[in-house]
Amino acid sequence: MQIVKYVFQPHGDERGQLVALEEFKDIPFRIKRVYYMYDTADGFVRGKHAHKKLEQILVCIHGSCKILLDNGTEKKIVPLEKPYEGVYVASGMWREMYDFSEDAVLLVLASELYDESDYIRDYDEFLISVGAGK
Ligand code: T46
């Protein structure tokens, strides 16, 4: 399984850093939605689902967290620790986010609007959807 990690260009000067993300330039899809999570309670795992259509890029813009990506046959863990690094999460990929530092802010750029019917929340159903079911 290939992990697509992005290293964005920080525009730094004596005032500090700035990262700009543009659709189709820095991000490979039209950005229809942006959301972020913060104040994640210690020990909790978020996500635990896949998407049928949604593509996303996750950026931990403050603090750190880990992303588990699972394509049904292989699992990989991607640490996100820098505000200029992102990981691409394709559709059909089970994802879990965990090990959030107390100060973590996880920003998500999404290719689609929120749609509950796009979620696969049952792991066995996910395995069947990617052809890895029993
Ligand atoms: C994903 C991972 C990385 C909305 O109303 N609109 C939204 O755009 C989103 C993302 C969520 N919500 C509501 C739905 C729930 O009542 O916010 C609540 C928490 O959402 P959820 O439990 O789905 O959050 P996570 O962290 O488990 O998953 C989220 C995204 O939902 C998901 O698409 O890939 O982050």
- Mean pLDDT calculated for residue range 45-59: 98
Mean pLDDT for all residues in the chain: 97
Residues known to be catalytic: 49
HEC states along 112-134?
A: CCCCHHHEECCHHHHHHHCCCCC
pLDDT tens-digit profile of 113-130?
999 999 999 999 999 999
Domains of the chain with bracketed CATH: 5-9+20-129 (2.60.120.10)
Residue with token string 């750029």: 109
Interval between CA 26 and ligand 1 midpoint (Å): 23
pLDDT confidence bin for 133, thresholds 50/70/90: confident
Backbone angles phi, psi at 125, to 5 degrees: -65, -40
The protein residue whose alpha carbon is closest to atom 28 in ligand 1 is 47
Interval between CA 90 and ligand 1 midpoint (Å): 16
pLDDT tens-digit profile of 4-41?
999 999 999 999 999 999 999 999 999 999 999 999 99
d(CA 91, CA 88) in angstroms, rounded, equals: 10
Q: Please tell me the predicted confidence (pLDDT) of residue 95.
A: 98
